[in-house]
Structure 1
């Protein structure tokens, strides 16, 4: 498995992914977060880089985590467009709300404890419709 955390913050999800044996990569817009923790994550085989999550390559991800609640409607729209670059079958985990767009199915949810309290976590799968032949 390869977990990509979009908006990784300080990398807690990445630590959990490595604990379970997955490759773990995160991208975070706030460079201070990355500068403070990336050197500590690297020995565990975790990469955390500064960047725009809507430009992060997703083709080899098996699981994508994003803290959906923290994004504006405009960012969510850009992210949905970007998530469509994932391979079919990629699992997407969002916090608080599911992605409500064509091609994202599943919508199973579970309550999880975060540093700020309990939130619903949604598990979906990217399953694009059939591709028309030319």
Structure 2
């Protein structure tokens, strides 16, 4: 059984909801979901697949709790790991930086030697309006 760690930062609860929806669709895996403030290196070390999730705030900024975690992401921990990234954003109000956190995490994980296995999931607006997209993303990880 594949071990999956989902590490997310969420302010309003939307990114946390997406994390749990992804977990719900990965029924053939052993999935651990953790808020980024509670994440431990062991969660990555023991995982066959690591998912990172962060919403995008302001003008292309990380969710507050995820920012310091991002700064500490390293090749010591991520090199050779399979990684996928998801996040929530607003394409109407911030079209030019829509889900920029997803792009930045993908770039950083790649720079740290991780293998990004799928295109990042970008959830626009209300989570409930994106359920099919979230399910398809989760199933693409299996």
Separation of aligned partners in 2, 1:26 and 1:111 = 17
Query: Deviations 1:30-89 (Å, cap 9, x if unpaired)?
Result: xxxxxxxxxxxxxxxxxxxxx6225553222011111144445433112x13x7425x53
* Residue aligning to 2:92: none
* Structure 1 position 85 matched with structure 2 position 93: no
Aligned length: 94
Separation of aligned partners in 1, 2:68 and 2:3 = 27
Q: Secondary structure at the match of 1:85?
A: helix
Separation of aligned partners in 2, 1:15 and 1:85 = 26
* Residue aligning to 1:62: 48
Larger Rg: 1
Q: What displacement does 1:107 show?
A: 7.3
Higher relative contact order (CA 8 A, sep 6+): 2
Q: What displacement does 1:27 show?
A: 1.1
* Structure 1 position 74 matched with structure 2 position 68: yes
* Residue aligning to 1:104: 114
* Residue aligning to 1:9: 16
Structure 1: runs of 5 or more not aligned: 30-50, 122-134
Separation of aligned partners in 2, 1:103 and 1:16 = 27
Farther-moved stretch of structure 1 (60-69 vs 97-106): 97-106
* Residue aligning to 1:46: none
- Whose strand proportion is higher, 1 or 2? 1
Separation of aligned partners in 2, 1:105 and 1:67 = 16
